[in-house]
Amino acid sequence: MIMNKILIFLLVFIFFSCGKESKKKQVIPVRVSIPMIQPEGKSVAIDTVLLNSYGSKILKEFYLSSGFKSVWQSNKDRKIILKQLLNSEEEGLNPDDYYVHKLQKFEKKYASLDDKNRGNYDILLTRSLQKYISHLSNGQLNPRNFYKDWDLKENVLDINQAIVVMLKSDSLQYKIEQLKPNHIVYKSLKKALKIINSFPKDDFKAIEITNKIVLNDTNPSLIDIKKRLIYWKEMKPKDGLSSIYDSITNEAMKKFQIRHGLAADGVIGKGTIAALNFSKRKRKEQILANLERWRWFPKEMGNEYVIVNIPDYKLILVKNNDTMRTHKVIVGRDKRPTPVLSSRLSNVILNPTWTVPPTILREDVIPSISRNRNYLAQTNMKVYDSNGNEVSANNWKLSNAKGYRYVQTPGTFNSLGMVKFSFPNRFSIYLHNTNHRDFFGKQKRSLSSGCVRVENPLKLAKYLLADEANWNIEKITETLQNGKTKAIKINNEVNVHILYWTAWSENNSLIFRDDIYNLDADLYQKLRR
């Protein structure tokens, strides 16, 4: 009887168990193992009620790994952390965000603290360090929350693991320094912050001019202009404050224009006046915004990479930390901005075709065809339906316009020019040549529909292909002349980073560029909310 009951139970169990096979399996959470922290010296108990009041999961997990015991018994380690937090201003961060003053009070009377307050101090120090590490490695804000044209991988860091490594290290100072962005531009921004802080307070009023000012002109605004040049150390005070635009002021103005990415012609126009009207406070805010932006950028660019600074209209190719090539570029205009992204170059395409992307199709091509069916012939563009059949201009229908595929044939007239550099990205953009080469002569080159146009692309193609035997300039030119599309794989690993920064320093001088997409002021305000 007992055996029968057991058999019935087993059958019922198997039946219901089998019935569940088709259902979604229950996911059993697996506890992540956190390396045990071995506290130095005598530790004290952590108040779990206070710990929970912070509402921080990573803080709770950290003390779980220490058995809810304090970890910052080392006087040396505490002082190193406090110094880092106090000097966080050098990174463009705010010490008040890390409870520095409260921590200093704890530290000052550490010897006389009871166990409870030592535990409380320990918790606050850990939370401050976690926050600081997070800000250094990922920034204070998440760009994915407010930028649609952003495609950079998030810098992932296990903060608790990083602290465990610090505790086990012989040099906590060194480990903290390793967490900071190491790129030369970030370091130059830190230097820029130091430089701007060295300038005295300014109280200049906005300068206004009606007409351009050129050499030997007389204009009452020149007195205020000279004051600005003296303030920014382009001129010396002894050079005088007359209303005459003399040669000394002209040379100082050219230096100012170079630092701000303006045409260095000495002519004082609207662009130059706009740059002069930036106060110290606004320039500092710009530097702080750029420091935050650089904490979002990749920590490792790669051994060999192409980096494009959108507001500087410049492409630089770097290998083993040496600049190998520089090229002027044209970037997207403000209404069609070039996205920020990182990828890897895959192919050089000679005589490329151009498949019209959605935005240009919607805003440019379809309206143009609607007005003039000859537009297709004039631009050497072919239209294909969903089955791949070519659609003639006469059979083109506005009602189906968005369902067609529009392809521009190769040639000097092609919007991509004669050369295209491909890399995977979700925005369908690339580096390419252009059929408007005269645009490279312009100072302001935010003129494209999002893609990056490159000056002297053949030299860049030759370098990237790195195959003198098969793809020298002569061979590339010959292939271009035959008019056939040719895709050539880039065998070397060359990353491409299209980034955005408007401030840095060079040779102890501040360098600024126009914020062409108006991102800096908005970012600074978000940081201060």
Active-site positions read 432, 451
Strand residue runs (E) in 253-374: 304-309, 314-319, 322-332, 340-344, 347-350, 354-355
190/196 Cα distance (integer angstroms): 10
3-state secondary structure of 29: coil
Query: Do residues 257 and 229 touch, judged by C-beta distance below 8 A?
Result: no
410/412 Cα distance (integer angstroms): 7
Q: How many CB atoms lie within 10 A of CB 488?
A: 17
First to last CA, the chain: 75
Look at residues 97, 101, 123 and name the one whose alpha carbon lies nearest to residue 44: 123
Rg (the chain; Cα; Å)? 31
Q: How many CB atoms lie within 10 A of CB 267?
A: 18
Instruction: Classify residue 339 by its DSSP letter.
Output: P
Query: Do residues 494 and 464 touch, judged by C-beta distance below 8 A?
Result: yes
Look up residue 336 and give its two tokens: 């069609």
Instruction: Classify residue 218 by its DSSP letter.
Output: B
Q: Where does 426-509 have alpha helices with state H?
A: 457-465, 473-482
Q: Where does 298-365 have alpha helices with state H?
A: 358-360
Query: Do residues 98 and 88 touch, judged by C-beta distance below 8 A?
Result: yes
295/189 Cα distance (integer angstroms): 11
